A and B are shown apart, each in its own frame.
Chain A
Amino acid sequence: MSAREEILARLRGALDGAAEAPAPPRPVVDARAQGDPELMAGRLRDYKAVVHRAGPGELAAVLGGVLAGVGVLAVPPDLPEAWLSAHSGRVLRDPDVAALDTVDAVLTGAAVAVAETGTIVLDAGPAQGRRALTLVPDRHVCVLFTRQIAPGVAQALARLRPTAPLTWISGPSATSDIELSRVEGVHGPRRLDVVIAEY
């Protein structure tokens, strides 16, 4: 018998005569429900992310300010040109990992966010690039549109495509491994800037 068959047979044997355990009723989730940008901003700050706000039509100008001093910026291949209209530094589109290790920051969009927890989710979709892009640089600047903010985890999951490569980000990289207190800044970006933009 193969290991697969044997394990499945063991499990079936173990369940022989077991009582039925019904699945709990699944609550109805409104995927379109909007999360509160103020709550989102507060939660982000709680975990040491730097929050910026951009009103309608202000995104490029705000990004120009946030990115001031960034010499080399990495961006995904499809980042809208308009976002960079006020930025004068060098821009690398979709650099390889070695080059990513030398840039000053990476700028991306996001897929969805969770206001309740201050979490941003990337799905490798528009303006986000592959996962390595937002991982290797030491600073991640992320543009989040208010319509992308879901109130809670359930609504965020409902908006996502499960089989996309998903990265859920809540603040800069951190560890609780020394005496169980949270310290920001380990292997992922040590600085996270989020620009919450109205659309």
Chain B
Amino acid sequence: MTHGTGNLSGADFPRAALPLLADDRLRRNLRHATGTIRAKRAAVVGEVDDWEELREAGRAIKAHTMRHLPELLERFEEAAAAAGATVHWARDATEACAIIGDLIAATGESEVVKVKSMATQEIGLNEALEARGITAVETDLAELIVQLAGDTPSHILVPAIHKNRGEIRDLFRAAMPGAQDVSDEPADLAAAARRHLREKFLSAKVAVSGANFAVAETGTLVVVESEGNGRMCLTLPETLISLVGVEKIVPSFADLEVFLRLLPRSSTGERMNPYTSMWTGVADGPSAVHIVLLDNGRSAVLADEVGRQALHCIRCSACLNVCPVYERTGGHAYGSVYPGPIGAILSPQLTGVAANRSLPFASTLCGACYEVCPVKIDIPRVLVHLRQEAPKSPVERAAMRAMSWVMRDPRRYARALRAAALPLRRRRTLRRAPWPLSAWTAARDLPLPAAKSFRERWKEGV
């Protein structure tokens, strides 16, 4: 079994969570944002009479797809190639970065525009390109915020969820040319981003994207987005390179019905997202179309009978938005580009549990994630399954259990946090956290990670 590489693991969860738990503003931002989205989702999901049937259809289509993945991938490749696309295969993050880097280098360009893509973050593409002298410009608003701040994403859908409008205004004023006077009105901030990126879109020669779905029957790729930055990148440049995880396949064009109905309502709480693009090989946009199919540990996930359902994920982020643990720690504590409940089951499986031992414990097993998941991934069941696999010393096992016990009860949790926060503000290292987090720190002497070291670790992972 060959596991994945890239930005999929960081510090142990409890250790990474401690300083974040002490950040009151972070928790306020998260509570506000996830509260808003939970209400919107509930309203539009309530409108759909056959929601449960839809979820079941989503689950069944994905289960069927995974069972037949090799044939479906071959079919996709054949159809996409027949339509003029060039299909590449990448075993892991390093190979994917090399393929994409070579394709860009062959065009002679030193700057590319990017549509938000989890897969490119997973493989650490921007850093790999930077090392080759190629600048990747993120064009999704939240990605742009994160990139301007030199930060890392903390949510699958809204990577800058941890920042409020005032922080974004300050960042734009400081880092975006011509935005010194921007206000903290979201419409104003969006307009500043529009001005900032316009010229880049109109002059870009190469774009890099991911894809939400890849249709085996027709060789079609699908990108679901809101802002129009996706359309810009998919339409205007001469060369388009799309990185697609092998699990993004759906068998037929008609299957898109189920996912186009499940995804927008689950992710942004809309009946439909503003823009969805579908293209098959070379169409009326870029004349050179490349598709890079990525394994990077997915085949290892597929081998686990219980865990393989993690590959059904359509990255809607509903499970993050309802998770009591995510709401308190934010995404950075998970140390992987995939945070929250889905990250807690996907990251350890992609890397192998040994490289991500604490994540299966970063949950209270409350089950809220399973209830909202549009493709019915039984996250609690997979967590319990992975906990049994995690190799641990008895002391660590006790510590993990203590962590889960604390997280199971909001009041217990809040108390532990307050206790943990006090010494943190005064010291740079933490020898002993107050009980019950002490059960964890007893296992090891902890230097407290600074926010920056996350990014460094991510880079090292490439």
Tell me the number of A-to-B contacts counted with CB atoms below 8 Å: 243
Of the residues B69, B257, B305, contact of A11 by C-beta under 8 Å: B69
Of the residues B215, B278, B302, contact of A165 by C-beta under 8 Å: B278
> Is B140 a contact of A167 with CB atoms below 8 Å?
no
Of the residues A154, A167, A173, A177, contact of B158 by C-beta under 8 Å: A177
List A contacts of B272 (CB < 8 A). Answer: 114, 117-119, 168, 170
A30 to chain B, nearest CB (A): 13
Of the residues B32, B274, B300, B308, contact of A172 by C-beta under 8 Å: B274
Known: A180-B158, A183-B190. A157 touches B274 (CB 8 A): no
**B408 in the interface (beta carbon within 8 A):** no
> Is B274 a contact of A174 with CB atoms below 8 Å?
yes
**B277 in the interface (beta carbon within 8 A):** yes
**A20 in the interface (beta carbon within 8 A):** yes
Of the residues A136, A167, A172, A178, contact of B168 by C-beta under 8 Å: A178
List B contacts of A168 (CB < 8 A). Answer: 260, 272, 275-278
| Stretch from A61-69, A78-86, A185-193 contacting the other chain | A185-193
Known: A176-B158, A179-B164. A4 touches B89 (CB 8 A): yes
Known: A15-B70, A23-B64, A176-B268. A162 touches B189 (CB 8 A): no
> Is A117 a contact of B271 with CB atoms below 8 Å?
yes
Would you give the 0/1 interface string for B261-303, flagging 1 where the beta carbon is closer than 8 Å to chain A?
1000000101111111111110111000000010100011011
> Is B142 a contact of A177 with CB atoms below 8 Å?
yes
Known: A21-B60, A173-B228, A181-B36. A14 touches B302 (CB 8 A): yes
Known: A157-B254, A172-B274. A21 touches B303 (CB 8 A): no
Known: A23-B251, A153-B261, A169-B275. A18 touches B165 (CB 8 A): no
List B contacts of A12 (CB < 8 A). Answer: 70
> Is A2 a contact of B89 with CB atoms below 8 Å?
yes
Known: A22-B64, A29-B254. A135 touches B187 (CB 8 A): no
> Is A177 a contact of B145 with CB atoms below 8 Å?
yes
> Is A118 a contact of B271 with CB atoms below 8 Å?
yes
Enumerate A25-77 residues with CB–CB distance to B below 8 Å.
Answer: 26, 29, 43, 46-47
Would you give the 0/1 interface string for A150-166, flagging 1 where the beta carbon is closer than 8 Å to chain B?
00111001100011111
Of the residues B194, B254, B273, B305, contact of A186 by C-beta under 8 Å: B194
A153 to B232, CA, bound (A): 24
**B63 in the interface (beta carbon within 8 A):** yes
List A contacts of B261 (CB < 8 A). Answer: 153
> Is A181 a contact of B235 with CB atoms below 8 Å?
no
**B33 in the interface (beta carbon within 8 A):** yes
Would you give the 0/1 interface string for A105-129, flagging 1 where the beta carbon is closer than 8 Å to chain B?
0000000001011110000100000
> Is A135 a contact of B69 with CB atoms below 8 Å?
no
Of the residues A29, A117, A157, A178, contact of B186 by C-beta under 8 Å: A178
A115 to B234, CA, bound (A): 26
Chain B's interface size range is 35 or more
List B contacts of A170 (CB < 8 A). Answer: 270-275
Kindly report which residue of chain B lies nearest to residue A46, judged by CB atoms.
B271
Question: Which of B83, B186, B197: most chain A Cβ within 10 A?
Answer: B186
> Is B284 a contact of A124 with CB atoms below 8 Å?
yes
Known: A2-B89, A131-B285. A187 touches B254 (CB 8 A): no
**B256 in the interface (beta carbon within 8 A):** yes
Give the 10 A-B residue pairs with the shortest CB-CB distance, closest first.
A188-B228, A10-B299, A187-B228, A14-B303, A186-B227, A165-B283, A24-B60, A117-B272, A168-B276, A14-B302
Contacts beyond the supplied A21-B60, A177-B158, A178-B189: 16 A-B pairs with Cβ under 8 Å? A3-B88, A7-B91, A11-B69, A14-B303, A15-B69, A101-B198, A163-B280, A176-B37, A176-B226, A179-B29, A179-B33, A179-B164, A180-B158, A185-B194, A187-B231, A188-B274
Would you give 8 A-B contacts (Cβ < 8 Å), ordered by A?
Answer: A10-B295, A19-B67, A23-B64, A29-B254, A131-B285, A135-B228, A182-B268, A187-B232
Residues of B within 8 A of A (CB): 1-2, 29, 32-34, 36-37, 40, 56-57, 60-61, 63-64, 66-67, 69-70, 73-74, 83, 88-91, 95, 139-142, 145, 158, 160-161, 164-165, 168, 186-187, 189-191, 193-194, 197-198, 201-202, 215, 217-220, 226-229, 231-232, 234-236, 246, 251, 253-254, 256-257, 260-261, 268, 270-281, 283-285, 293, 295, 299-300, 302-303, 305, 308
Residues of A within 8 A of B (CB): 2-4, 6-8, 10-15, 18-24, 26, 29, 43, 46-47, 97-98, 101, 114, 116-119, 124, 130-132, 135-136, 152-154, 157-158, 162-189
